[in-house]
Amino acid sequence: MKTILVVNGEKYWKDILPAYTVVQKSIQHTSWILKSGKLFVADRDGVVQPDAILWRVGAIKPTEIQTTALDLIALAGIPCVNSPETLKIGFDRLSMLATIKKLGLSVIDFDVVTKSTNLKNIKMDFPFVVKVGNYHGGFGKVLVEDERKWQDIQDLLFVTEHYITVEPYINYVRDIRYIAINDKVWAMSRKGKFWKANIETTDFEEFEPEEALVNDLKMLQNAIGADIIAIDILEEENGNLHIVEYNDIPGLSGFSDELKYELAAVLTRALS
Ligand SMILES: Nc1ncnc2c1ncn2[C@@H]1O[C@H](COP(=O)(O)OP(=O)(O)O)[C@@H](O)[C@H]1O
Ligand SMILES: [Mg+2]
């Protein structure tokens, strides 16, 4: 039986991939060994020599072990979903955003500073959104409504070494996620308790994908060679759309089980 290593992610992959030995490990607790071209991954539960890897590293702190592991997977030539090359483009928010921008898609306007003291040179109308560094899952993101809060937040931002992006707050009527796996596309809108639709999400609604956005998503998917990719889009009342990010390790919650099987099939095809 071939062995699939699931790095982080959901607990259900064993059930979706019954024809394989599925071993799951957290990147935070692993050590990686490349020996004579063969890859071994160890943690306190033991060592595994994977035949394929399902990379499901979600909203944790981005650390060097993640990019090192991706390089070792590439060097070992093991099938990995997404590919290490694709995952490395998406690893940092700025290179992810640059990729969307280069393709001419309607990415949200944003300013960037690498030192918080330069924020005083950034003039944006309230409300706006500040995003610190390279985090997912809503982490490091704050809505700034007025001068008083902005002053406090700038003081807080002084302590970070990460780059800071500032973008207009989009008073959206729908927060939309399109997700592509292989050649299939699904669409969903989400509602959150507060302004971040992905945090304390109260509502998921799947709907029929629209052709123009499917084409945009497929162009992006092809450009970065992704097996799986999602884009997050904010829709204004007047119909204007703003892409806030793409995610090459998107969560699948809220969608049907079909997506899990589709993703598993991408991996098993690479193994056969
Ligand atoms: N500029 C913005 N205006 C309004 N809402 C935003 C803006 N940026 C992000 N959000 C909300 O916050 C959520 C999370 O932001 P996002 O940039 O997708 O980061 P991540 O999902 O990686 O934490 C979005 O889905 C959206 O609901
Ligand atoms: Mg998002």
Same domain, 203 and 72: no
Q: For ligand 1, is residue 198 a contact (CB within 6 Å)?
A: yes
**Is the shortest distance between the CB of 169 and ligand 1 below 6 Å?**
yes
Cβ of residue 107 lying under 6 Å from some atom of ligand 1: no
In a domain, 137, yes or no: yes
Report how many domains make up the chain.
Answer: 3
Tokens found for residue 66: 């993640």
Instruction: Please identify, among 126, 152, 168, the residue that sits at the C-terminal boundary of a domain.
Output: 168
- The residue ranking higher by pLDDT, 123 or 52, is 52
> Tell me, what CATH number does 130's domain have?
3.30.1490.20
- Residue with the two structure tokens 């509602």: 191
- Which residues have their alpha-adjacent CB atom under 5 A from ion ligand 2? 232
229 and 98 in one domain? Answer: yes
State what percent of residues in the chain have pLDDT above 70: 100
Q: How far apart are CA 83 and CA 119, in angstroms?
A: 36
Ligand 1, residues 204, 232, 253: which to mutate, most atoms within 8 A of Cβ?
A: 232
pLDDT in tens, 211-263: 999 999 999 999 999 999 999 999 999 999 999 999 999 999 889 999 999 99
- For residues 94 and 60, the answer to whether their CB atoms sit within 8 Å is no
Residues in the chain: 272
Mind listing the pLDDT tens digit for each residue in 46-63? 999 999 999 999 989 999
* Listed residue (5, 72, 87, 89) closest to 37, CA to CA: 72
Question: Does 215 fall in a domain?
Answer: yes
**46 shares a domain with 10:** yes
**Same domain membership, residue 213 and residue 99:** yes
Distance CA 42, CA 18 (A): 23
* Same structural domain, 99 and 26: no
Ligand 1 atom closest to Cα of residue 232: 18
Does this model's pTM top 0.75? My answer is yes
Q: In the numeric block, which tokens belong to residue 8?
A: 């982080």
Instruction: Identify the pLDDT of residue 221.
Output: 98
Compute the distance from residue 246 Cα to the ligand 2 centre, in Å: 7
The answer on pLDDT for 272 being more than 90 is no
Contact (Cβ atoms closer than 8 angstroms) between residue 262 and residue 16: no
Domain extent at residue 69: 3-81
Amino acid letter for position 200: E
Of the candidate ranges 93-97, 121-125, 156-160, 167-171, the one whose mean pLDDT is the lowest: 121-125
> Does pLDDT of 190 surpass 90?
yes
Task: Please give the mean pLDDT across all residues of the chain.
Answer: 97
CATH of the domain at 241: 3.30.470.20
**What distance in Å separates the CA atoms of residue 183 and residue 205, rounded to the nearest whole number?**
21
Using the predicted structure, report yes or no on whether residue 93 has a pLDDT greater than 90: yes
87 lines ligand 1 (CB under 6 A): no
Residues 159 and 189 in one domain: no
Position 60 in a domain:
yes
